[in-house]
């Protein structure tokens, strides 16, 4: 299955849950496309990878497609999560209950700061990052969330991989190297805000500062 298709499956899942919530028994590819924010031809192509082709004039069976999608995405079981780095962002993530509700219970927290180790966040005691191999084995950690500063992130990624964790969600603003068999996804909230400020500035008439008087890299 192409990576781009995999990345759209969660959007279809969410859209199907909306349709189910509205008591729809079937859904057309056009409606599903609208809810997911993609085009209908892409929906049909993506769903064909699941072996789902819909019925002409009827569409797809919502319940069955939901089941297929959940199973394909591995959501018929829980995937225990460890958060490493309990600064502002890590604490926010540990306190956010949206993960556990969706099959990603946060079962372990780690930090390197002795002032943080031993404290409790949302009912979980923070352990030292050196204990990761023991923690990962004891809790069957599937996914490691890195919420450290950029400077510590590669070391933490290496520790997670060494502890046998093969899925990583990285919130640290840096690019990490991991072995090919490890999956890594990246969330950088500042990047999203900076993209918005680019367009915001365009709308308000462009940069406010005059160009620097440097003879290379002149703006057009």
Tell me: does residue 6 bind a copy of itself (CB under 8 A): yes
**Is 80 a binder of a copy of itself (CB under 8 A)?**
no
Q: How far is the CB of 204 from a copy of itself (least distance, A)?
A: 9
Q: Between helices 3-21 and 40-48, what is the axis angle to 10°?
A: 110
Cβ 128 to a copy of itself shortest distance, Å:
24
> Taking contact as CB under 8 A, which single stretch among the options 53-61, 110-118, 131-139, 153-161 is the one that binds a copy of itself?
53-61
Q: Build a one-symbol-per-residue string for 13-42: x at contacts with a copy of itself by CB under 8 A, - elsewhere.
A: xxx--x---------------xxxx-----
Give all strands (DSSP E) within 10-123, no chain letters: 26-27, 60-61, 81-84, 106-111, 120-121
Whose structure tokens read 């890195």? 146
**Please, what is the minimum distance in Å from the beta carbon of residue 219 to a copy of itself?**
5
Of 123, 116, 122, nearest to 86 by C-alpha is 116
Cβ partners under 8 Å of residue 112, min gap 6? 128, 129, 152
Q: Given candidates 46, 60, 107, 146, which one binds a copy of itself under the rule CB under 8 A?
A: 60
CA distance linking residue 174 with residue 177, whole number of Å: 10
For residue 126, what are the β-bridge partners? Answer: 109
Our finding on whether 201 is near a copy of itself (CB under 8 A) is yes
Instruction: Establish if 207 lies at the interface with a copy of itself (CB under 8 A).
Output: yes
Q: CB 117 → a copy of itself: shortest distance, Å?
A: 21
Per CB under 8 A, 45 contacts a copy of itself: no
Which residue blocks in 58-112 are alpha helix, DSSP H?
62-72, 88-95, 98-101
Show contacts with a copy of itself in window 102-161 (CB under 8 A).
Answer: 102-104, 142-143, 150
Are the C-beta atoms of residues 23 and 41 closer than 8 Å to each other? no
């Amino acid at each position: 299955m192409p990576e781009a298709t995999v990345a759209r499956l969660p959007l279809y899942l969410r859209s199907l849950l909306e349709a189910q919530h509205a008591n729809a028994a079937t859904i057309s590819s056009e409606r599903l496309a609208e809810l997911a924010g993609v085009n209908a031809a892409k929906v049909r192509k993506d769903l064909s990878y699941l072996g789902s082709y819909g019925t002409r004039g009827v569409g797809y069976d919502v319940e069955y497609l939901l089941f297929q999608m959940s199973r394909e995405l591995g959501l018929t079981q829980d995937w225990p999560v460890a958060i490493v780095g309990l600064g502002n962002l890590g604490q926010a993530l540990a306190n956010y209950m949206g993960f556990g509700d969706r099959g990603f219970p946060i079962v372990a927290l780690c930090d390197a700061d002795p002032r943080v180790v031993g404290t409790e966040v949302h009912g979980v005691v923070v352990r030292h990052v050196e204990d990761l191999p023991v923690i990962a084995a004891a809790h069957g950690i599937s996914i490691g969330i890195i919420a450290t500063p950029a400077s510590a992130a590669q070391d933490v990624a290496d520790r997670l991989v060494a502890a046998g964790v093969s899925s990583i969600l990285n919130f640290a603003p840096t690019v990490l190297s991991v072995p090919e068999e490890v999956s890594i996804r990246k969330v950088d909230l500042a990047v999203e805000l900076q993209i918005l400020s680019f367009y915001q500035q365009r709308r308000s008439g462009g940069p406010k500062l005059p160009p620097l008087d440097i003879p290379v890299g002149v703006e057009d």
